[in-house]
Structure 1
Amino acid sequence: MTVDLEVNDRRVVRDVPARTLLVHLLRDILGLTGTHVGCDTTQCGACTVELDGVAVKSCTVLAAQADGCSIRTIEGISSDDESGLDRVQRAFWDKHGLQCGFCTPGMVMAVRQLLRDNPAPTEDEVRRGIDGNLCRCTGYQNIVVAALHAARTGTGEERRVSS
């Protein structure tokens, strides 16, 4: 079947088997390997991308379901500042919200969604907002700190995180 979609602001038309998952289209066919495959069952969130501006786990979306949609992967987010990082990526860097990096792309995409839904979350709201994404290295504390820092960067508001 033919899928016609926009990926990171570029039109993509590909013939794929009907059973192709979006994550496999992105990784295996388009070479966008920043979207990770962790579990193939929506448990880990490593494959999170934005589908028409909403964070989804791409291991549970068929490529055919994304036909006509706009997809944004971790490779497609950036800023115009000298670092090239968007504010969530910058916050993860500044606040050490990553360790091995496997979960980081999915976490960044989940935090972007959280901040679209709630620009000034509390610590508890951040923890609930990322609860569908697993990290086996960090213990989540610095991920939460990074998410709150990204929120402050967007709103100018200070928030405290308990230790």
Structure 2
Amino acid sequence: MEFPVNARILPAVLALAAVLLPLPAGALDLPKGEVILTVTATRLDHPNVDGTAQFDLAMLETLAGRVGEMETPWTEGKVKFSGPLLRSVLDAAGAHGTSLKVVALNDYEADVPMEDATTLDTMLATRIDGKPMSVRDKGPLFLVYPFDQNADLFNEKYFSRSVWQIKSIKVAE
């Protein structure tokens, strides 16, 4: 049996259903501001734009993160970095894999083992001394290792993985 559909009511019913129906668990919102990070992976559980996970600054700053005051080879004296933990970003995207290729705006790439995200409090710094990081100051995102928590990380191995001006992360199996 067919029921007649009032063409004027159908758009309102569909809009109401979109608001009332819950998003799938772990669903990633669409970015509202400028996209500053795109995560890609063979297996991505929470894509939000064309099979990728895209983040604006506001989305990143709502994720679990940390603040660390530390010296680095690229800054003068101690500075305070803050931003989401790398693992929080990967979890929000639902990214699965064993290694990461972190890519900068100038296409510089560094290979980072997934363990650096899961076992260390590695962050994607969005702020330095409380201020958003500009491209000129290594922003908008800077992969910062927890040098303040573990002095053994303060070496060339981790320096070479500390990418700044990050635009994307490619997760590989």
User: Between Structure 1 and Structure 2, whose CA radius of gyration is higher?
Assistant: 2
TM-score category of the 2 structures, normalised to the smaller one: under 0.3
TM-score by length of 1: 0.27
Higher helix share: 1
TM-score by length of 2: 0.26
